[in-house]
Structure 1
């Protein structure tokens, strides 16, 4: 039984060309975002090195922090899988499956932000870190900007879901979902790098 709300029809050559331009534009945007995060990660590494060289106190994650962030990382990676499954579903006109996977993506993204909020509360209220110390400045700037990107991604996911509920997408028309997917995978990839640099290396 078909899960689409209308019979999918091929898009025009002009529309296909426009879609390719949209994807190219997203790749350009992500390239600029990559430069921003490269600078932020580099600043974190340099700040940590200077702190070590000058004998300043630097935070070391304990077992609980590593467990919390590891779970959060798994959640974000699982959300990327949901996006992949959603795109695969719409490629064969399973619109309802796409909607379910988008819902799961948004839920997992919100769970990641919740985990990050827990970590922030521990660092601020229990360990006393803030923008007043080198670690707090580097850590909250880097992870906070990434968290903002996740928040934007959750909102984008919900907007894509609203469009999907109107029956707009089909096997011939799902570039909007692909573009959202590019952004979401990028955010996940950046987090894997941040996780490695911040929590696994000294």
Structure 2
């Protein structure tokens, strides 16, 4: 059995068409996710224009070190994911490189979640959750932290899904249930992972940098 026949799925009778359909499907999904996060970022922009001082004060309360470390972690995970995806395209002999890249990617994703957990605990201890007992006096600051909890929570969910997808790939490739060479699941998963990372690159300056330039 060839690698392509092992990867072929119903209703496709041609691997090339299956591959193109998979790419098209993930790009449609990524476009819908872009619209979703774009709407959140537009809402943030409007609120920040209306409450610039409150957003600056709230931004100074975020832990920029946690945010910076997590940014470095995600950027590194994008690199290892790209290495795995490229190795899968190059040669079947690079299967170990593919597995190593995927494992490091998953571990970095888990590291991001753990670091974010420590940051959330600090936020809770500082009473930075909108509602009764909120630590900051400015009404607009609650809008900032409402956005903060919403977008970082949604991002963490997306990242957790990505970790699960990468972990599944590691499992099936390790058991040799599917070949690594030209596996469309690797490319599709890589595109999803890169989207999650790109979203964080936009979120980082919006969350951690307001109020710190002055």
Task: Kindly report which structure 2 residues correspond to 1:108-127, keeping only aligned pairs within 5 A, or say none.
Answer: 108-126=108-126
Cα distance in 2 for residues equivalent to 1:99 and 1:175: 15
Asked if 2 retains the 8 angstrom alpha-carbon contact of 1:72 and 1:115, the reply is: yes
Task: Give the structure 2 partner of residue 157 of structure 1.
Answer: 166
Number of residue-to-residue matches in the alignment: 192
| Residue 74 (1) aligns with residue 72 (2) | yes
Displacement, 1:10?
A: 4.9
After superposition, what is the alpha-carbon deviation per residue over 1:54-89, rounded to whole angstroms, capped at 9, x for unaligned? x68841336x82122111100001001111111122
Cα distance in 2 for residues equivalent to 1:8 and 1:196: 47
Task: Kindly report which structure 2 residues correspond to 1:3-152, keeping only aligned pairs within 5 A, or say none.
Answer: 9-10=3-4, 14-52=14-52, 58-61=57-60, 65-91=63-89, 92-93=91-92, 94-126=94-126, 128-132=127-131, 133-152=142-161
Displacement, 1:23?
A: 0.9
Structure 1, unpaired ranges of 5+: 1-6
| Residue 194 (1) aligns with residue 175 (2) | no
TM-score by length of 2: 0.81
Asked if 2 retains the 8 angstrom alpha-carbon contact of 1:30 and 1:186, the reply is: yes
TM-score by length of 1: 0.86
Cα distance in 2 for residues equivalent to 1:140 and 1:176: 31
161, 165, 180: which one aligns with 1:170: 180
Task: Give the CA RMSD over aligned residues.
Answer: 2.2
Q: Which moved more, 1:64-73 or 1:182-191?
A: 64-73
Q: 1:56 to 1:14 in 2, by over 3 A?
A: closer
Asked if 2 retains the 8 angstrom alpha-carbon contact of 1:8 and 1:170, the reply is: no
Task: Give the structure 2 partner of residue 3 of structure 1.
Answer: none
Structure 2, unpaired ranges of 5+: 132-141
